[in-house]
Structure 1
Amino acid sequence: MEDFASWLQENMWGGWLALATVLGIAEMFSLDLVLIMLATGALGGLVTSLVTDVVVVQFLVAVVVSVGMLAVVRPGLARRLHTGPELMLGHGKLVGTQALVTESITSQEPGRVRLAGEIWSARPYDETLTIDAGETVEVFEIRGATAYVHPVPRLEG
């Protein structure tokens, strides 16, 4: 029995590696990111076992790494994986883009802008403005087939 205990102590890295492997495989079935954090702790125990034969130190390192991964890494990773990208569909994706005025725009007479390679009907977002052809504007809103735009400020120099 003493031979087994000494063999186990000398090859503790194998136990840590087996534990990390089992936890990693189990994570593939659970997908809750807890078991992979514990597997990382087991890898910490494995690295520690290569440095020292003291099992208590290996265990403490494994626990500290596991708790640290669960507390620090998992929340951000879970939030990032469980929320998809924000999808902008339809005309909403054009809001915030810039366009070129091709026909003058006033509040009484809609003009035209080249927006995303297409010609759009346009009105000024601020009804007191007149925007001349050739100006660059930003799309503030899309209502139906009309873009409501505002001039992009230019640096005078």
Structure 2
Amino acid sequence: MYALAWLILTAVLVLIELHTGTFYFLLLAAASILTMITALAGLPILVQCFTFVVAIALMYIFLLPLLRKLIPSTSKSMIPQLSDYLVGQEAFVVQTISPDEAGLVKLHGEIWSAVANEKIEEGNKVIVAEVRVTKLIVTKE
């Protein structure tokens, strides 16, 4: 009876892992498989729970760091950020930029808010030095 419960828990944890891709639920599923083996051996529920907790602890301490090293993380994207692409590009000032007030620049057909350390008049060409969220830091060409 308990073996079936551990098997169902394993299936649920694997399904959750398929949606998250973090290895946390996969390790929980592996621990529940080990616990299912203890249930099939006829050991009491207390021993099964102890096996589950110990298996999880050991996997998180030893196996998870190893998996993190062997399998590349998706959070470290190979795709360059938009800010990497915009830095160094030329833009045209469409509203005067002054040191104490942001202006507007046109970059690749889009209007961006921009700031600079000096006054830059409308119509001048500027270079994007940095991107901060939705604001460009520009310098005079």
State the TM-score, normalized to the length of structure 2: 0.49
State the TM-score, normalized to the length of structure 1: 0.45
Look at both structures and tell me which one has the larger radius of gyration over its CA atoms: 1
